[in-house]
């Protein structure tokens, strides 16, 4: 299970050798701080003076590390009971052409911080309502003042949801034909979600 790096992210990570292997710890700290609190230009400027490199080098290096660490950590949860292994991680960064020393520093940075990164990413996920239960009723109108004989069915549903430890309810009404069409569309979407292409897209969106 390898992490695929785009040309842009390879370019950002390519700044790391200019910063030096000893700077990985400092850049990793900045990457984690940006994940927790957002961009910090002053911190990057301070690190640039401390390491005697350009600010752009620090910023690109931090952005590259943020992507590398977050995407590698996401892969831990993409398959149940599976996580990106040390070998997978090393193979993913092998294409960058870094020295063995720099690769070992990146691996250690990932191993030391993957649990915390997963925790941070979990906090950033929006708390969407979750399903609790469903009530439904089928009503059929057999006649009206204008039409003495007619069959007009309607499905009324009451959807109970959990949100922020509270329960809410939504009442929906539709006709059986529309409901059947929605069911077919959902079944088609679920079928497409099982395709490898869709799984890759969803994994990258997490």
The pLDDT tens digits for 101-160 are: 888 888 888 888 888 888 887 777 667 788 889 999 999 887 766 666 777 899 999 999
Q: How many CA atoms lie within 13 A of 28 on its CB side?
A: 21
Q: What is the pLDDT of residues 111-126, one digit of tens each?
A: 888 888 888 877 776 6
Chain mean position to CA 65: 17
The pTM of the whole model exceeds 0.75: no
DSSP one-letter code for 143 = -
- pLDDT bin (cut points 50, 70, 90) of residue 171 is very high
Chain mean position to CA 167: 26
- pLDDT bin (cut points 50, 70, 90) of residue 174 is very high
Integer angstrom CA distances of residue 57 from 13, 28, 92, 106, 113? 10, 14, 22, 17, 22
CA dihedral in degrees (188, 189, 193, 197; nearest 10)?
90
pLDDT value of residue 79: 47
């Amino acid at each position: 299970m390898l992490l695929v790096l785009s040309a842009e992210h390879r370019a950002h990570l390519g700044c790391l050798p200019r910063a030096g292997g000893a700077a990985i710890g400092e850049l990793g700290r900045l990457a984690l701080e940006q994940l927790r609190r957002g961009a910090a230009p002053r911190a990057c400027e301070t690190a640039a003076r401390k390491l005697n490199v350009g600010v752009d080098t620090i910023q690109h290096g931090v952005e590259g590390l943020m992507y590398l660490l977050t995407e590698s950590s996401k892969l831990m949860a993409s398959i149940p009971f599976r996580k990106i292994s040390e070998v997978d991680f090393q193979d993913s960064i092998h294409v960058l052409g870094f020295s063995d020393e720099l690769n070992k520093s990146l691996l250690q940075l990932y191993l030391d911080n993957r649990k915390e990164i997963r925790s941070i990413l979990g906090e950033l996920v929006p708390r969407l309502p979750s399903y609790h239960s469903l009530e439904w009723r089928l009503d059929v109108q057999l006649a009206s003042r204008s039409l003495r004989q007619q069959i007009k069915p309607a499905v009324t549903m009451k959807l109970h949801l959990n949100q922020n430890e509270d329960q809410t309810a939504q009442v929906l009404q539709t006709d059986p034909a529309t409901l059947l069409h929605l069911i077919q569309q959902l079944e088609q979407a679920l079928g497409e979600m099982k395709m490898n292409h869709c799984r890759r897209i969803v994994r990258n969106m997490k």
